[in-house]
C-alpha cells in the first residue's frame, strides 16, 4: 500500500482521507520517482560512454608509446593489409586519444556520470530523511480525519521535501551548465587560437612562397642572361699566363692561371656585360709582358676569343 516503485517505501497514502494532502503526496512521489529513475538511467548511459571513451583513450595512448618503442622511425607496420609508417601511426594514435578525451570533457560524460551518481545519492538520502519525518508526523495524526494543524504540518513537511529535491536537481543542472559552458569556451578558445596560428602560418608560408618564386624567377632570368667565354691563348713556350677579370657585376675580381701545358681557359656563367681582362705573361717567375683587353659576354651564348701574348 502506498509504496513508490523506486523508493519502495510506504507513505500510507491509502489511509489519508484528506484529498489535498493525498493529492500533494501522490504528485510529489511521482515527481521524485521520475527524477530518481531519470538519474539512474542516465547515470548508466554516462557510465558506459565514459568507460568506452576513456578505454579508447588509454589504449590509443599506450599504442602510441608501444609503437615508438618497439619499432624504429623508418619501419612500417601492416594494418588491414596496408602499410603505415610507425611514427605516423603513433601520432595518429595520440591524436585519437586526445580527440576522445576532448569529446569526453566537452560533453561531460565522465563528469556527468559522477554528477548523476552524487545527485541520485543525495535524492535517496533525502527520501530516507523525509520519510522518517513523515512517519513520525502521521503517527501523531488521525489520517482518517486530519485536523487543521495536522494538515499544515504535513503540507509543510512535503513542501520542504519538495524544495530539497528541486534544490538537488537545480544544483546538478547548474553544475552541468557551468561545466559545459567552461569546456565549450575552452574548446572555442583553442579553436580560435589554432585558427589564428594557422592563419599566421599560412600568411608566412604564402610570403615565403612568394619570395621563393620571385627568387626562382630572378635566378632563371639571371641564368638566361649569363654566357660563357673561352679564351684560346697563344704565347711563348714555357710561359704561364695569369688572368685577372674585373667587371661591375662581379663582387670581386676573378683570378686564373694558365699553366704551360694549357692552350685555353674558360669563364663560365658570367652575367651579360662588358669585362676587363688583364693578362700577365710570366716566364721563369718573372712578368715579361702585360696586356689588357675588353671582352663582351653575350646572354645564353658561348663566345670564343683568341688572345696572343708575346714577350718583348
Q: Would you place residue 80 in the very low, low, confident or very high pLDDT band (cuts 50, 70, 90)?
A: low
Q: What does the domain layout of the chain look like in residue ranges? A: 13-207, 226-308
Per residue in 266-305, pLDDT (tens digit) is 999 888 889 999 999 998 888 988 999 999 988 888 999 9
Question: pTM for the whole thing?
Answer: 0.55
Q: What CA–CA distance (Å, rounded) separates 8 from 3?
A: 5
* pLDDT tens by residue, 86-115: 667 777 888 888 888 888 888 888 888 999
pLDDT of the residue at 209: 87
Strand partners of residue 296:
274
Q: How confident is the model at residue 76 (pLDDT cuts 50, 70, 90)?
A: low
Per-residue pLDDT tens for 222-233?
Answer: 666 788 999 999
Q: Is beta strand 226-234 parallel, antiparallel or unpaired with respect to 302-308? A: parallel
Terminal C-alpha separation, the chain? 140
Question: Nearest-5° angle of CA 155, CA 160, CA 161?
Answer: 95
Q: Which of 112, 72, 116, 67 shows the shortest CA–CA distance to 93?
A: 67
Q: 239 with 288: CB under 8 angstroms?
A: yes
36 pLDDT more than 60 = yes
Look up cell 556520470; give the residue.
113
The pLDDT of 148-168, averaged and rounded, is: 94
Given a cut of 70, whether residue 7 has pLDDT beyond it is no
pLDDT exceeds cutoff 50 at 2? no
Fold of 226-308: Immunoglobulin-like (2.60.40)
For residues 100 and 60, is the Cβ–Cβ distance under 8 A? yes
Amino acid at each position: 500500500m502506498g509504496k513508490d516503485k523506486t523508493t519502495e517505501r510506504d507513505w500510507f497514502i491509502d489511509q489519508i482521507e484528506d484529498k489535498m494532502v493525498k493529492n500533494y503526496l501522490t504528485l510529489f512521489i511521482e515527481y521524485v520517482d521520475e527524477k530518481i529513475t531519470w538519474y539512474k538511467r542516465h547515470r548508466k548511459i554516462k557510465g558506459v560512454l565514459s568507460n568506452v571513451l576513456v578505454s579508447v583513450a588509454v589504449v590509443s595512448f599506450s599504442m602510441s608509446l608501444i609503437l615508438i618503442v618497439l619499432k624504429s622511425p623508418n619501419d612500417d607496420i601492416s594494418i588491414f593489409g596496408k602499410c603505415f609508417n610507425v611514427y605516423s601511426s603513433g601520432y595518429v594514435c595520440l591524436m585519437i586519444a586526445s580527440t576522445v578525451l576532448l569529446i569526453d570533457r566537452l560533453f561531460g560524460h565522465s563528469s556527468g556520470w559522477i554528477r548523476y551518481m552524487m545527485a541520485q545519492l543525495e535524492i535517496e538520502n533525502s527520501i530516507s530523511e523525509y520519510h522518517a519525518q513523515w512517519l513520525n508526523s502521521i503517527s501523531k495524526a488521525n489520517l482518517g480525519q486530519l485536523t487543521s494543524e495536522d494538515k499544515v504540518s504535513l503540507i509543510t513537511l512535503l513542501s520542504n521535501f519538495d524544495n530539497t529535491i528541486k534544490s538537488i536537481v537545480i544544483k546538478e543542472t547548474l553544475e552541468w551548465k557551468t561545466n559545459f559552458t567552461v569546456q565549450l569556451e575552452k574548446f572555442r578558445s583553442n579553436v580560435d587560437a589554432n585558427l589564428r596560428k594557422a592563419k599566421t602560418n599560412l600568411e608566412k608560408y604564402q610570403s615565403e612562397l612568394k619570395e621563393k618564386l620571385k627568387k626562382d624567377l630572378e635566378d632563371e632570368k639571371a641564368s638566361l642572361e649569363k654566357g660563357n667565354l673561352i679564351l684560346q691563348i697563344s704565347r711563348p713556350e714555357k710561359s704561364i699566363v695569369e688572368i685577372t677579370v674585373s667587371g661591375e657585376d662581379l663582387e670581386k675580381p676573378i683570378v686564373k692561371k694558365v699553366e704551360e701545358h694549357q692552350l685555353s681557359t674558360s669563364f663560365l656563367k658570367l652575367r651579360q656585360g662588358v669585362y676587363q681582362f688583364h693578362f700577365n705573361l710570366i716566364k721563369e717567375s718573372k712578368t715579361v709582358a702585360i696586356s689588357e683587353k675588353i671582352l663582351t659576354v653575350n646572354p645564353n651564348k658561348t663566345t670564343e676569343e683568341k688572345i696572343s701574348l708575346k714577350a718583348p
